[in-house]
């Protein structure tokens, strides 16, 4: 499709997702402004990413640091989110480009980010990734590791932990994701009580289950396929 058709299709899809967010918020008695749509651009070109940004979506997400580097250069003046694994040898180049790291999935990554934040003199906003589904294929901290981790978090001056992130097990029935999302919310609440940290963000929900995630308290939903299917 040409640029005009691309823009038209994207505008329709963005409006549809935004309407679904509003409806999910209404069911949960929440303000739609409390939910940020992160458009996951990992399957599309910088041109498509630029168009969705021009349509008003100012938060874009990438899974791979190398792709984020390329797209952040092509599409400046938006909030880039790293939603995939960050290798320690890519911290220096990646962190200056991102508004939020969703995927702090190990002590080693947390310590590397803490060291970088201390070195540059400003803390890095991050989320702790939690494996709520228990799937071996998924990254993140195990549930039973969260409380010990929480006890250490106030000592990390180089990062600001803003909340938690998870991926539910994929299913054709989005309701099956609800327990994972409820678990993340409950763990966030427990950590806030224990640490006194302001863990305001819950990054959970993707194209197949984001409405259920919103009903369970998501503040960031990561949408790729619903926006970009069939585009490149």
Tens of pLDDT, residue by residue over 83-123, are 999 999 999 999 999 999 999 999 999 999 999 999 999 99
Kindly provide the residue ranges of all beta strands, DSSP E only, lying in the chain, ordered along the sequence: 36-40, 59-62, 79-82, 100-104, 124-129, 159-165, 201-203, 220-223
Model confidence band, residue 57 (pLDDT cutoffs 50, 70, 90)? very high
3-class SS of residue 141: strand
Beta bridge partner(s), residue 221: 37
**Rounded CA gap, 130 and 103, in Å?**
9
Chain segment 123-156, per-residue pLDDT in tens? 999 999 999 988 888 889 999 999 999 999 989 9
Domain CATH number, residue 50: 3.20.20.10
Q: Which residues contact 213 (CB under 8 A, 6 or more apart)?
A: 168, 177, 181, 202, 204, 205, 221
Chain segment 155-186, per-residue pLDDT in tens? 999 999 999 999 999 889 999 999 999 999 99
Tokens coding 137: 């294929």
Domain that holds residue 178: 3-228
User: What pLDDT does residue 138 have?
Assistant: 85
Cβ–Cβ under 8 Å, residues 98 and 80: yes
Which pTM value belongs to this model? 0.96
């Amino acid at each position: 499709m040409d640029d005009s058709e691309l823009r038209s299709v994207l505008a329709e899809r963005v409006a549809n997702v935004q309407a679904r967010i509003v409806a999910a918020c209404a069911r949960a008695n929440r303000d739609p402004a409390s939910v940020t749509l992160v458009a996951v651009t990992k399957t599309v070109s910088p041109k498509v990413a630029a168009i969705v940004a021009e349509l008003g979506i100012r938060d874009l997400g990438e899974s791979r640091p190398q792709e984020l580097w390329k797209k952040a250069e092509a599409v400046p003046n938006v909030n880039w989110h790293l939603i995939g694994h960050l290798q320690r040898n890519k911290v220096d180049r990646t962190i200056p480009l991102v508004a939020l790291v969703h995927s702090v999935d190990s002590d080693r990554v947390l310590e590397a980010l803490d060291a970088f934040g201390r070195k540059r003199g400003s803390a890095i906003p991050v989320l702790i990734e939690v494996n709520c589904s228990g799937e071996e294929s998924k990254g993140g901290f195990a549930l039973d590791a969260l409380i010990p981790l929480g006890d250490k978090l106030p000592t990390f001056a180089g990062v600001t932990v803003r909340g938690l992130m998870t991926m539910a097990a994929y299913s054709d029935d989005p309701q099956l994701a609800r327990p994972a999302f409820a678990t993340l919310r409950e763990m966030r609440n427990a950590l806030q009580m224990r640490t006194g940290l302001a863990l305001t963000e819950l990054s959970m929900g993707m194209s197949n289950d984001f409405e259920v995630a919103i009903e369970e308290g998501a503040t960031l939903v990561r949408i790729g396929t619903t926006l970009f299917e069939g585009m490149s």
